[in-house]
Amino acid sequence: MKRIESEQNASIKQWKKLYTRKERDKLGQYIIEGPHLIEEAMNHNVQIAHLIIEESYQMPHDWEQLRLDPWVVSKKIMGILSDTEHPQGVLAICRMSSKELQVKAGGKYLLVDGVQDPGNLGTIIRTADAAGLDGIVLGEGTVDVYNSKVLRSTQGSLFHLPVVKGNLQDWIAACRQEQVPVFVSALKGAESLHDVQSSGTFALVVGNEGSGVRMEIMESADQLVYIPMFGNAESLNVAVAAGIMLYELQKNRK
Amino acid sequence: MKRIESEQNASIKQWKKLYTRKERDKLGQYIIEGPHLIEEAMNHNVQIAHLIIEESYQMPHDWEQLRLDPWVVSKKIMGILSDTEHPQGVLAICRMSSKELQVKAGGKYLLVDGVQDPGNLGTIIRTADAAGLDGIVLGEGTVDVYNSKVLRSTQGSLFHLPVVKGNLQDWIAACRQEQVPVFVSALKGAESLHDVQSSGTFALVVGNEGSGVRMEIMESADQLVYIPMFGNAESLNVAVAAGIMLYELQKNRK
């Protein structure tokens, strides 16, 4: 058993820094919290550099065979390391891995243009997973996927499908090449989602919470699509909108 | 112009207390922040007891004709009163009003069973507004609708349709009496949403983030419905699920 007693320990200080994007990118590592998320990571071959548990933490039975050699820390140190109000007693330091994604004919993709809120991005990733997509591309200006709140909101879905960073125009061009129609979520000058004919292969672009999808991306789309507003709301939350659109496009598959 | 100079001012202390449910219920008041939400409140006849602005705040032009007599406070006091990281310079203390809701034949309703996260509840209310529902009932154990984070996430939709507290079993009975079919969101033992026939009148019940809709409520339902999972996600966020279901049930109207 390895134990860290001091808050001043160099590893503690370094791990804590993983809550900043700069440090994550520099070290190629990120931090996840709680047994569910850690189990999802393990099950999907994420490399775990360090496991850190609180002294009173009972590891799940099926982890025992994995011969993990966790760092044991006090409740106080766990509180320092954790990002949540109620720490769950276990953290893991994971290594980033470069994921591969390639547009293929017949595929289903989500392109994210500048979503800022971590909870929204995490929920979008979870939703895209539920809808059975083949991959997600995060465009410039989108919040970092390794942000702890994003990771938490994905509920593990980040590990289920390829999520890559990229230039959206390049990806739209790749979709065009493979005859994957590109739909862009819009409020105006668009066709109602319920009138859209989807052949079950598509790329959907969703945009920033305030300003939506950038104009130049809209101009590259095959079709602008809106969700009809039956009441007095001006718009929907971006994760909710993504869910409604993805399930509609997905459902229409032939 | 009315000005409050001291942080120790009794009104400041009292308003600050409106961030607790107990105090809100005692005083029948709640606090909203930012020009958009305040404008929505004004446009929907919410009684505003006090308007509080930061000294540098420029009121929107169309507010001038309203002859509002705001309290002016320093940036520091606004920071104390505000619940957000980046205060928008204007707050309003609103009076709660008792809203009326009655189940009518042909109507569309959402029943919320124990949703705990304020952001989720606010987003659900916004989504139900967008889907053109006639009213929302918040069952026991659901987070307070006047919680500041709920209010913020509604984006004003709270003021667009009746949102009432109530006993869900009573409301289900009322739906039955008016031939409004009751659908309950479930993961198991349910019919796929895409196979459900909706006549455009319905009550949908959504449940707690972790445990879903309570068993006794499920047993009162006309139909349990699930959203198919095409990927590896175990479930969807409750607000996303509500959005997908409401738009599907709404769309099938004849």
Query: Does the distance separating the beta carbons of A194 and B251 come in below 8 Å?
Result: yes
CB atoms within 10 A of CB B54: 21
Q: Does B27 touch chain A (CB under 8 A)?
A: no
Q: Does residue A99 contact residue A158 with C-beta atoms inside 8 Å?
A: no
DSSP E strands in A102-149: the ranges are 108-113, 135-138
CB proximity B127 to A under 8 Å: yes
The mean pLDDT value of chain B amounts to 95
Token digits of residue A172: 């739209």
Q: Which of B126, B127, B237, B246 is the best substitution to test chain A (most A C-beta atoms within 10 A)?
A: B237
Q: Tell me the pLDDT tens digit for each residue of A109-138.
A: 999 999 999 999 999 999 999 999 999 999
Closest CB from B130, B230, B243 relative to A132? B230
Taking the Cβ of residue B86 and every Cβ of chain A, the question of whether any pair is shorter than 8 Å is answered with no
Roughly how many angstroms between the first and final C-alpha of chain B, as a whole number? Answer: 56
SS3 A123: helix
Q: Do B231 and A119 touch (CB under 8 A)?
A: no
- Interhelix angle A238-251/A118-130, rounded to 10 degrees, is 10
How far apart, in whole angstroms, are the C-alpha atoms of residue B13 and residue A211?
Answer: 37
For the segment A192-235, what is each residue's pLDDT rounded down to a tens digit? Answer: 998 998 899 999 999 999 999 999 999 999 999 999 999 999 99
The SS3 call for residue B52 is strand
Greater model confidence, B254 or A70: A70
Q: Assess A237–B contact: CB distance below 8 Å, yes or no.
A: yes
Residues of B in contact with A153 (CB under 8 A): 237
Residue B253 has pLDDT above 80, yes or no: no
Which amino acid appears at position B81 of this protein?
L
pLDDT reported for residue B157: 98
- Given a cut of 60, whether residue A254 has pLDDT beyond it is no
Decide if B235 and A130 are in contact by the 8 Å CB cutoff. yes
How much of chain A exceeds pLDDT 70, in percent? 99
Tell me how far apart the alpha carbons of residues B41 and A29 are, in angstroms, rounded to a whole number.
46
Task: Report whether A160 contacts A129 (CB < 8 A).
Answer: yes
Q: Please report the pLDDT score of residue B254 as a whole number.
A: 40
User: What confidence tens digit (pLDDT) does each residue in B133-164 have?
Assistant: 999 999 999 999 999 999 999 999 999 999 99
Q: Note the ipTM here.
A: 0.95
Tell me the chain A residues in contact with residue B161 when contact means C-beta distances shorter than 8 Å.
Answer: 231-232
- Cα distances from A8 to residues A11, B103, B152, in angstroms, run 9, 62, 39
B132 touches chain A (CB under 8 A): yes
Average pLDDT, integer, range B94-122: 96
End-to-end CA distance of chain A: 56
Which fold would CATH assign to domain B2-95? 60s Ribosomal Protein L30; Chain: A; (3.30.1330)
Q: Which backbone phi and psi does B163 adopt, to 5 degrees?
A: -125, 115
Within an 8 Å CB–CB cutoff, is residue B129 touching chain A? yes
Nearest CA in chain A to B133: A231
**In this model, does residue B252 exceed pLDDT 80?**
no
A133 burial level (CB within 10 Å; 0-12, 13-18, 19+): buried
Shortest CA distance to A11 belongs to which of A69, A63, A73? A73
Beta-strand pair A48-54/A90-95: antiparallel
User: Percent of chain A scored above 90 by pLDDT?
Assistant: 89
pLDDT of residue B249: 95
B238 to chain A: closest CA residue: A240
Secondary element (H or E) of residue B111: strand B108-113
Question: Span A172-197, mean pLDDT?
Answer: 94
Q: Is the dihedral of CA A231, A235, A239, A243 positive or negative?
A: positive
Q: Chain A interface, mutation test: which of B44, B193, B227, B240, most A Cβ atoms within 10 Å?
A: B240
Residue type, A209: E
* B215 C-beta neighbours (distance < 10 Å), count: 9
- In CATH terms, the fold of domain A108-251 is Alpha/beta knot (3.40.1280)
At residue A253, does pLDDT exceed 70? no
Q: Decide if A196 touches B, using CB distance below 8 A.
A: no
What is the DSSP track for B185-247?
E-SSS-EEGGG----S-EEEEEEBTTTBS-HHHHHH-SEEEE----SS-S---HHHHHHHHHH
- pLDDT of B24 > 90? The answer is yes
- Spell out the domain ranges in chain B: 2-95, 108-251
**pLDDT tens digits for range B34-75:** 999 999 999 999 999 999 999 999 988 888 778 788 999 999
For residue A26, the number of C-alpha atoms closer than 13 Å in the C-beta half-sphere is 9
